[in-house]
Chain A
């Protein structure tokens, strides 16, 4: 089914279930510890060996020798496979560094060997016996600031509208500042883990933790040069991903090699201290923002030039992603420089692009509002746009940013705040308030599903994943709604490559795309049912199919009926409209006058994401984004050793995500909006919107509290300590 024009009135506008609060259908499994996660698939894999990975100890160079003799003789060891013994494996579309094979080292902790033993302890102990000799390539640079200085002003802008230089030069009020965000790691609770059965070198079964089942299957096929139809991937429960599990990673590759070599299933989890350099991360950014405005607050010039790092051929972190679209202004120039660097592989992390870009742009907007003497909420309202400002013939499908700002300001009590930076003190805490706008593009991907009806029970099968977001629940709601069934008549089966290919989970496209696909499959099933009862038209309600005056319970339909379809999205989506999600964040912080520690006191997010499919799970997504935004603002920072080229604080003690004690009262408001352009359900993504802008709101509040403006993240006390007021 192709979605090729904006949705009209449909069954979701009279919904009984969709849009109503439902607790997670998988919650009992999770709270009882019985949801089967990848490393614990004892329900399906009874006899397996255990693998342990070995990573490179240098960032760039060659491996000249690997001595695994002692490891091979160690107790319980079945096999040691080194990268020197394997031809370089294939690299699928979105992977950049080679996952295994050959003698070239591209980054620190790149996998170079795997030990497979009877037990985890044996494999780990033997791994320490492997000796590797390297030839280090000293010709490597790890300084992003230096790269930005070198590249600034070069290259072709991605957006170049009007005459930025002239407008900026003529603007009566201007801002020109540098901002920096550090590299960040996903730090999801469950590490990358897989069990692979490739015992006979033929059919391969992979029990893994992955956001994108079909990408994973295709990546495995490319990596090992095998037919994708010989591969089955299962990932029914995922302990967090945040973009770190979009890709095939070394866990599955090493387990597959181990399984083929030993003829038994092999399981392997990436150890936490290994993950942060071995897997992907969000690149650091250096950003220069220039704004020019009239004295009454209209932006006339917007310049955003940024750099991020990547291994050669990668995508980095485009911090300018939102700048072509977010605010009005006739002259703008936007440019992102990708800097080749032999740090671990930079890739996507929650709201790639906007998360980092708004950390800078929304401080710049705060600074500009102050220069203009205009309230930062009003300044943003003044520069709202209902069309793509870089291509004014294209309207936003729906944009209620102004309403987010106004609702938030009212609910938060924005007008009552202290306007003088450093002007409010409670005991030893300086109290401040800040806000920021949120913008995240909205994407939909084709998504398929199968709907099977038997004895009045509906089973939905799709390779869609639930990475903790609530996919099981919203898919059950969509199916129940469409089929006129109750929630408890629906069973949802996810994360299996045996089932129709879905959008998967990522880029906040999963919820809207996959529910649209489930809707399409249910419509196909409805056609089957109507045909079975010989009806031209039928309605589905209260467990019945109703044709004319006859209501037939679905439970009385003999045998099994199956509907299967894939929702695809027509070109009008991207050609006729610009589709995005919007929000506003308001926060209150305290900055300790002695130490400069910044702590949150309260937070409010107002979100405009079209129909909210389930306010319970959507709220959780936004809360999680806000929590991650606190980490981004105040503590998260992959510290780069610029001499050796690696991330130093590579465990959860050194890489500080926010903990419970950091989290204040949080409130989330969803605007009651619909976006008929998005999908038949008129919903858009929300999971990434939640992090966008949060860190800048905190930065602006810390400034309001202390009078100290910090433009480098995280906003740690060492960046304030010498500028704090007297105690």
Chain B
């Protein structure tokens, strides 16, 4: 871990201004991912702005009947919120499928969206990684590499990493938006679909956030009802990232929404795939995973995603 300076911010706009002004600055909230990456010197911020005192730990109802979740609400508190459990059960189920109780106590809503990939080649600094070291090459795409966990769609020749979040997959199914404050004090709202960027030639740029821009909240539109389920598939029963996860919202008439985790650099959902839901899992995946480019080792994720959704639909 490199030496860094540290300050506490008590106002989001001020924090954003400072983050843009101080060279090498980064926000720290729960620290569950950032501190690990700093110890490995994958992240080397010169300055940390602690945003845990910025008053963003409330969950409020919005005028249009939705919820506004402060960026600093912990995963534990969000999962346990009675309104979330009642109106957005897919979100609670996704949250409790992630990490461990201790990590969920520290992990925050904003930080969860900004966590980095768990690709082992990103984590091993002796290996090439375009995300960690732009232009170095992708260790996971060389011959003999281990790519079983990695992405099958939305990836590029530069990077096949996945976004590891469960929470974000459920939020994507719920049409969540991200609220931010910029370094000039302006606020903006970004749909979660547009929040994460695909890697293309620049896998090191993972979101559309500008320099200094800080997440202040995630908003959920008014509840949409339906049967909501989150199925996370993994080798062991707990404490593992998804091989594939499926967030499903299904209305009594058979219509609904499907988002996937564990397959792409961002929560993966397509409107034309949602439209196929009445026609079953095969029809949904034909659209949702159209153009998938798996490796030999992770080609199983295509069949796994379809079978997982099919099993979820069969439960109704």
Contacts and interface: CB of A to CB of B under 8 A. Distances in A.
B39 A124 contact: yes
A648 B124 contact: yes
A659 B237 contact: yes
B210 interface: no
B300 A717 contact: yes
A659 B238 contact: yes
A662 B310 contact: no
Given A643-B143, A727-B311, A128 B41 contact: yes
B242 to A, nearest CB: 11
A640 B238 contact: no
B148 A639 contact: yes
A653 B122 CA distance: 14
Contacts of B300: 717-718, 721-722
Interface string A33-66: 0000000000000000000000001000000000
A634 interface: yes
A597 B146 contact: no
A209 B204 CA distance: 41
Interface in A636-684: 639-644, 648-651, 653-654, 656-662
Contacts of A641: 139, 144-146
Contacts of A634: 235-236
Interface in A614-651: 634-635, 639-644, 648-651
Interface stretch (A509-517, A565-573, A588-596): A588-596
A596 B235 CA distance: 10
A595 B304 contact: yes
B237 A643 contact: no
B308 interface: yes
A727 B121 CA distance: 36
B261 to A, nearest CB: 14
B235 A721 contact: no
B253 interface: no
Contacts of B236: 634-635, 656-659, 661-662
Interface string B126-153: 1100000000000100111110100000
A142 interface: yes
A718 B307 contact: no
Contacts of B39: 124
A717 B233 contact: yes
Q: Interface range on chain A: under 10, 10 to 19, 20 to 34, or 35 or more?
A: 35 or more
B189 interface: no
B63 interface: no
Given A125-B1, A643-B142, A643-B145, A727 B124 contact: no
A648 B123 CA distance: 10
A379 B155 CA distance: 51
Contacts of A660: 238
Interface in B196-239: 231, 233-239
A720 B120 CA distance: 25
A472 to B, nearest CB: 30
B277 interface: no
A125 B2 contact: yes
Contacts of B186: none
B146 to A, nearest CB: 4
Contact of B243 (A108, A125, A640, A717): A717
Contacts of B40: 273
Given A595-B307, A659-B239, A717-B233, 16 more contacts: A57-B126, A121-B1, A124-B39, A273-B124, A428-B315, A641-B139, A643-B144, A648-B145, A650-B120, A651-B123, A656-B235, A657-B236, A721-B303, A722-B303, A727-B311, A727-B314
5 contacts: A428-B315, A635-B235, A641-B144, A661-B237, A724-B307
Closest 3 CB pairs between A and B? A594-B311, A643-B144, A642-B144
